[in-house]
Amino acid sequence: MHLADRGYFLIALSAVLAISGAWADDSSLRWVWCWPAGILSAGLALEAWLDPRISIQAELQLHEKLLLGRGAQGVLCLQHNLQRLVTVRYARTLPHAFAGDQDVFEVAVPPRDIASEPWSLRPVRLGPGEFVPLPARVLGRLRLAWWSRPLALTTAFNIAPDSLHGARQRAGGDVRGDTPYKMPGHGGELFQLRSYIPGDPLARIDWKASARARALISREMSEDQHLEIVLIVDAGRMSSMRAGALDRLGVYANITARFAEHAIKLDDRIGLVAYADRILALSPPGRGVVGVRRIREALEQLMTERAESQPMVAARAVIRMARSRSLVIWLTDLDEPSGTTELQTAVRQLALRHVVVCAGLDNATLHALRARPARNWRDPYIALAAGAEAERIRGLETFLRGAGALVVSASAERLEYAVIHAYQSQRRRRRI
């Protein structure tokens, strides 16, 4: 119970009358303060007796599917069982899976009607859950006090990875022209004619076109190329670190889901391996909408594990699952020192058969610490430590490139574009 404005007024009035009565010469004024105090006590007792009769129902209605990192709109509906206007003050307490407005709001709920309040939400963590009860207070019948009455929300939710469909900003890259692949020699159909380049094989020369043009003309043929792609997602302890509006696992999950939608447009097969100290999710490479649906369902249940990541666990799973030469895109933390050696070993084994792309987030904080001017005696040591860590990460990237992997490092906003660009580059070069 917390006093309202009217209750505080009666307390202040009682105090003023008590002081005035103590200073006055008239003894009849000495006990006047008891009247407002008695009214307050009787009113609070009456409100406490009437308070259990109030039953407030709360329901949160979500108008759209919850997608990770994308804002969603909901409506909080309140109604009660009394025949009078009821004033409710509540705090918008959000589960850890959401970010948004958590201020205190006050709403007047009319009798035999529903009061609706808009609520903006932004999912920041994957997986299912339920909303927590909202701390709330109900203004008493005499408006003397606020009485605590938590609002139980029974709304369940499930946060899915983001989707290309309807996204405000899509990753860069154009899929037009990727399916017809240019290669010398005989193919499925003619892609184009062009001027002869020294070194072109004789079988590539179009002699009829050369005779008409009175110059050597070469053919370029098109061929459909269907790749097998495996995405590895690191869901270990370090994936809970914040990366912009989301944590690292959220960034990886969004990239994986949207990349899968991008790849099926080219009729590629795509699979998923999520790991920490063990395999958390496994989806064999599939084609089309069915393959994307399996990956999205696996990602929706994915949560960060507290254990340290063990890259060899993921590498062995990929070796067992991908029998033919595939493109392996590994989304992991390149700045995690504890798993550096094992990641190097895992990439070296995968690169013997597959094309490996290691993608991680660029640590902007590290670069900022390295370049920050010194303001006290600690700053030079912080800059030296940041420089040493940056050199270690650069050394890891150099080793991974030497093992045959392509290393991609970018900010959370640019990593998806970098991954798709690397995928398109490998596809055009026909390395898979």
Q: What is the pLDDT of residues 237-268, one digit of tens each?
A: 888 888 888 899 999 999 999 999 988 888 88
End-to-end CA distance of the chain: 69
pLDDT in tens, 19-68: 888 887 777 778 888 898 999 999 999 988 888 788 888 888 887 888 99
224 pLDDT above the threshold of 80: no
Among 281, 346, 283, CA closest to 310: 346
**What pLDDT, on a 0 to 100 scale, did the predictor assign at position 318?**
94
What whole-number distance in Å separates Cα of residue 312 and Cα of residue 350? 10
CB-neighbour burial class of residue 260 (10 A; exposed 0-12, middle 13-18, buried 19+): buried
Mean pLDDT of 170-196: 53
Backbone angles phi, psi at 196, to 5 degrees: -65, 135
pLDDT in tens, 315-331: 999 999 988 889 999 99
pTM of the model: 0.75
Write out the two tokens for 75: 């409506």
pLDDT in tens, 67-85: 998 888 889 899 888 888 9
The H-assigned helical ranges of 325-376 are 340-351, 364-371
Taking residue 195's Cβ as centre, other Cβ atoms within 10 Å add up to 11
Write out the two tokens for 326: 């595939």
How many helices (H) and strands (E) are present in the chain, helices listed first? 10, 22
Mean pLDDT, the chain, rounded, equals: 84
Buried b vs exposed e over 309-338: b needs ≥16 C-beta within 10 Å?
Answer: bbbebbbbbbeebbeeebbbbbbbbbbbee
**Torsional sign, CA 306, 312, 316, 322:** positive
Taking residue 36's Cβ as centre, other Cβ atoms within 10 Å add up to 19
Beta bridge partners of 279: 275
- Pair type for strands 86-91 and 136-139: antiparallel
Beta bridge partners of 352: none
pLDDT in tens, 359-418: 998 877 777 777 888 888 888 888 888 888 888 888 888 888 888 889 998 888 899 999
Stretch among 208-212, 303-307, 387-391, 407-411 having the lowest mean pLDDT: 387-391
Going from the C-alpha of 288 to that of each of 114, 184, 186, 208, the distances in angstroms are 45, 29, 28, 41
**What pLDDT, on a 0 to 100 scale, did the predictor assign at position 395?**
83
pLDDT in tens, 179-190: 444 444 444 556
What whole-number distance in Å separates Cα of residue 82 and Cα of residue 275? 54
CB-neighbour burial class of residue 52 (10 A; exposed 0-12, middle 13-18, buried 19+): exposed
**What pLDDT, on a 0 to 100 scale, did the predictor assign at position 222?**
54
Among 328, 320, 336, 316, CA closest to 403: 328
Among 107, 158, 101, CA closest to 131: 158
193 pLDDT above the threshold of 90: no
